[in-house]
Amino acid sequence: MSKQADDAQLAQPAPQPHQAPSISDNDEVLSELPQGLWPGDVGQLNFDSRRALLALMKGPYIRADKHRELWAALLADETIIRSRLADVFLELVLDLDLGLAFAKNVSVPESGMPKVMRSLPLKFIDTALLLFLRSSLLSAVDQNEPVMVDREEINSHLMLYQAADSTDESGFEKRINSAVSKMVDNSILIKTDTPDRFLVSPVLSLVFGPDQVAAISAQYNSLLSQEG
């Protein structure tokens, strides 16, 4: 396995769509559609639902606790929003228990479908950090409680991989800083009021499954044993 793992990508599971409404339900929905938000507007979604659709397309995700108006609009117009996303080759991933929703590129092997959303390229140390964060979610005693990590924990864990990197200690610390910044920028790590303490976003539970964690962890552990 390449130590840089430059081409590693976040994997995401296929969404589980809810039951589509009946024809009579669609008639009722259409009767409640707005007449237009501006002269000549032919859109079928109300203001908040359009904002929810835009938020999904911009990413990274909608949180029920943080984006309450968008979340309510998404649930109210889920069927239409799913349709609008599908029109541009995107799928909606919605988890009511976690209170999370995001859009992902349609995944159909050898279909030649356009990739609308940019994937997140991961280097070796980025993947190591993701493994640590996802493992923290898996090992949480109470799955309903927020999982927190601090910078000291992150540094301590990632320094185990320094021997597998070609840089010196100073250079490796810069790579750790870059990896943490990448996770913050993509809302995988969420800053708290306490300096250097982060909330681990539960969205990792949806995009990084236990089987993937086990497989990649085995590769990284093998690399550590070789270097040791």
Q: What is the pLDDT of residues 39-86, one digit of tens each?
A: 999 999 999 999 999 999 999 999 999 999 999 999 999 999 999 999
**pTM score of the predicted model:** 0.68
- Comparing C-alpha atoms, which of 26, 44, 28 is closest to residue 36? 44
Look up the domain containing 160 and give its range: 120-227
What total number of domains does the chain contain?
Answer: 2
Say if residues 106 and 91 touch (Cβ distance below 8 Å).
yes
pLDDT in the model for residue 223: 65
Query: Which segments of the chain are extended strands (E)?
Result: 8-9, 62-63, 90-95, 100-105, 121-122, 147-150, 189-191, 197-200
* Residue 66 belongs to some domain of the structure: yes
* Residue 6 belongs to some domain of the structure: no
Q: What is the pLDDT of residues 93-118, one digit of tens each?
A: 999 999 999 999 998 877 778 888 77
- Separation of alpha carbons 72 and 70, rounded Å: 5
Mean of the per-residue pLDDT values of the chain: 81
Name which residue leads in pLDDT, 157 or 220. 157
Q: Which of 20-34, 37-51, 117-131, 165-179 is least confident?
A: 20-34
pLDDT in the model for residue 107: 82
- Separation of alpha carbons 207 and 134, rounded Å: 10
* Residue 4 belongs to some domain of the structure: no
Count of C-beta atoms within a 10 Å radius of residue 72? 14
* Residue 44 belongs to some domain of the structure: yes
Mean pLDDT within 19-45 = 62
Per 3-state DSSP, the chain is made up of helix, strand and coil in percentages (nearest 5) of 45, 15, 40
Q: Are residues 138 and 84 in the same domain?
A: no
**pLDDT band, very low/low/confident/very high, at 26 (cuts 50, 70, 90):** very low
